[in-house]
């Protein structure tokens, strides 16, 4: 159990008046959770303090060598006003998997949950009331020793910051267009693709930029060795419906083990839809498209939950999936998962945790 010190602001900000204009990741609440780590002492000095800038040395190791990890989850407000989380322990377990890869010290998952509940309790009025909007939660750890040598640090800081965010699809569930990147790669097996760490996103910006230039909204990454096998989209895992089966790349270290991915597979299994986690080549996807067996493509991730793909461009080949319309499995998964998250349907899986 953490002993959390509270230092609450005397000048709270006005809450956003128009929740339809929240967007994503621009607005932050009044407080943040902070805790320090020192070698020999462990994690200590847990506190909830006013949200704001803080000082670290220009030599802080995280600024130079990228020893950072993060997580992303949401708090949802149900119709009766309750605030709830979706499988939050999974985010803190994954934070520790990322920590291990980046040689950042383990952090107690129950302590993280306690910190999450304590902070969101203080900020619960910031959880949006509008349908589809939520409070985005960003836990992260940075190394802060002022030292220019390359080694694991001795001082870290753990933060949780909160950002009220709008509905991902303001105009309903719209298919996205995706560009298959065949020059750059995001991660390789043995690298840190499975970790939620800043460097993976830095590596992805150039592909994202190229996709935008070609009017595609996101990048589909291929494997880092042969550039044949499908990996994932920028911040989403990817699934294909081929011949009635949901096929998604297996986890083998280079892709992020999404909690939405795992949950979507569980929902499919519960509904009797066959699923397969295996290696899948972009050629197989193109062949399935040509033979009419590729009926749906969708991404899975906390931000959009389910993101149907309408256009998929691989070199000169442009595949238009399901007539650029949302397909039945994508729709079912979206309805089921958002229904559970916002408390509109019964949670038979035991995924919801109330504040």
For ligand PLP, which stretch binds (CB under 6 A), given 46-54, 256-264, 281-289, 343-351? 256-264
Nearer residue to ligand PLP within complex by CB, 2 or 133? 133
Q: Where are the alpha helices (DSSP H) in 14-87?
A: 61-65
Nearer residue to ligand PLP within complex by CB, 123 or 232? 232
- Least Å distance between CB 187 and ligand PLP? 9
For ligand PLP, which stretch binds (CB under 6 A), given 133-141, 239-247, 271-279, 297-305? 297-305
Q: Establish if 261 lies at the interface with ligand PLP (CB under 6 A).
A: yes
Q: Establish if 259 lies at the interface with ligand PLP (CB under 6 A).
A: yes
- Least Å distance between CB 237 and ligand PLP? 5
- Contact letters (x/-) for ligand PLP, 138-157, by CB under 6 A? --------------------
Q: Establish if 235 lies at the interface with ligand PLP (CB under 6 A).
A: yes
Nearer residue to ligand PLP within complex by CB, 48 or 259? 259
Tell me which residue of 220, 211, 221, 218 sits closest to 188, measured CA to CA: 221
For ligand PLP, which stretch binds (CB under 6 A), given 13-21, 164-172, 206-214, 254-262? 254-262
Give whole-number Cα distances, 87 to 139, 192, 260, 299, 344, in Å: 15, 23, 10, 19, 17
- Least Å distance between CB 94 and ligand PLP? 7
Structure tokens at 12: 């709270």
Number of residues interacting with ligand PLP: please give it, by CB under 6 A.
14
Q: Establish if 105 lies at the interface with ligand PLP (CB under 6 A).
A: no
Q: Which of 134, 177, 218, 237 binds ligand PLP (CB under 6 A)?
A: 237
Widest distance between CA atoms in the chain: 64
Q: Establish if 98 lies at the interface with ligand PLP (CB under 6 A).
A: no
Query: 3-class DSSP state for residue 108?
Result: coil
Can you list the pairs that 156-160 forms with residues at least 24 positions away whose Cβ atoms lie under 8 Å? 156/36, 156/37, 156/104, 156/105, 157/34, 157/35, 157/36, 157/37, 157/56, 158/33, 158/34, 158/35, 158/36, 158/37, 158/43, 158/107, 159/32, 159/33, 159/34, 160/32, 160/33, 160/115, 160/116, 160/119
Q: Which of 67, 302, 322, 336 binds ligand PLP (CB under 6 A)?
A: 302
Q: Establish if 72 lies at the interface with ligand PLP (CB under 6 A).
A: yes
- Least Å distance between CB 298 and ligand PLP? 12
Tell me which residue of 15, 28, 277, 57 sits closest to 145, measured CA to CA: 57
Q: Decide: 187 and 153 in contact? Cβ < 8 Å.
A: no
What DSSP letter does each residue of 241-293 carry, written as one string?
A: EETTEEEEEPPSSSS---HHHHHHHHHHHHTT--EEEE--BHHHHHHHHHTT-
For ligand PLP, which stretch binds (CB under 6 A), given 78-86, 106-114, 166-174, 230-238? 230-238
Q: Which of 236, 246, 294, 337 binds ligand PLP (CB under 6 A)?
A: 236
Nearer residue to ligand PLP within complex by CB, 175 or 301? 301
User: Exposure string (b/e) for 227-265, b if CB count within 10 Å is 16 or more?
Assistant: bebbbbbbbbbbbbbbeeebbbbebeebbbbbbbbbbbb
Q: Establish if 264 lies at the interface with ligand PLP (CB under 6 A).
A: no
Q: Which of 140, 196, 265, 340 binds ligand PLP (CB under 6 A)?
A: 196
Q: Which of 181, 223, 232, 296 binds ligand PLP (CB under 6 A)?
A: 232
Cα-based torsion angle of the residue sequence 162, 164, 165, 166 in order, rounded to the nearest 10 degrees: 170
| Binding interface with ligand PLP (CB under 6 A) | 72, 196, 232, 235-237, 256, 258-261, 300-302
């Amino acid at each position: 159990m953490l002993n959390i010190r509270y230092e609450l602001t005397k000048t709270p900000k006005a809450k956003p008046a128009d929740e339809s204009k929240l967007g994503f990741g621009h607005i932050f609440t009044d407080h943040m959770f902070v805790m320090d780590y020192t070698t020999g002492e462990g994690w200590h000095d847990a506190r909830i303090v006013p949200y704001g800038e803080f000082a670290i040395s220009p030599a802080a190791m995280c600024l130079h060598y990228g020893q950072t990890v993060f997580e992303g989850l949401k708090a949802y407000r149900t119709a009766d006003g309750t605030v709830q989380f979706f499988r939050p322990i999974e985010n803190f377990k994954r934070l520790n998997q990322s920590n291990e890869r980046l040689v950042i010290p383990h952090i107690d998952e129950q302590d993280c949950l306690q910190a999450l509940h304590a902070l969101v309790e203080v900020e619960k009025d910031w959880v949006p009331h509008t349908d589809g909007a939520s409070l985005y939660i960003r836990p992260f750890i940075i190394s802060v020793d002022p030292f220019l040598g390359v080694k694991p640090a001795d001082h870290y800081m753990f933060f949780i910051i909160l950002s009220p965010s709008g509905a991902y699809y303001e105009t309903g569930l719209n298919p996205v267009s995706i560009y298959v990147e065949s020059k750059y790669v995001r991660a390789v097996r043995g690298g840190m693709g499975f970790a939620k760490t800043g460097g993976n996103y830095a590596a992805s910006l150039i592909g994202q930029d190229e996709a935008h230039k070609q009017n595609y909204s996101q990048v589909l990454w291929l494997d880092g060795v042969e550039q044949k096998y499908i990996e994932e989209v920028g911040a989403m895992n990817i699934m294909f419906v081929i011949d009635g089966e949901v096929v998604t790349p297996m986890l083998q270290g280079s892709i992020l083990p999404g909690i939405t991915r795992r949950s979507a597979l569980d929902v499919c299994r519960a509904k009797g839809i066959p699923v397969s986690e295996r290696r899948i080549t972009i050629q197989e996807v193109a062949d399935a498209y040509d033979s009419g067996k590729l009926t749906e493509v969708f991404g899975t991730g906390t931000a959009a939950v389910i993101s149907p793909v309408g256009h998929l461009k691989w070199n000169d080949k442009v595949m238009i999936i399901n007539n650029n319309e949302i397909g039945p499995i994508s729709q079912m998964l979206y309805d089921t998962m958002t229904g559970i998250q916002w408390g509109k349907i019964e949670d038979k899986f035991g995924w919801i945790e109330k504040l």
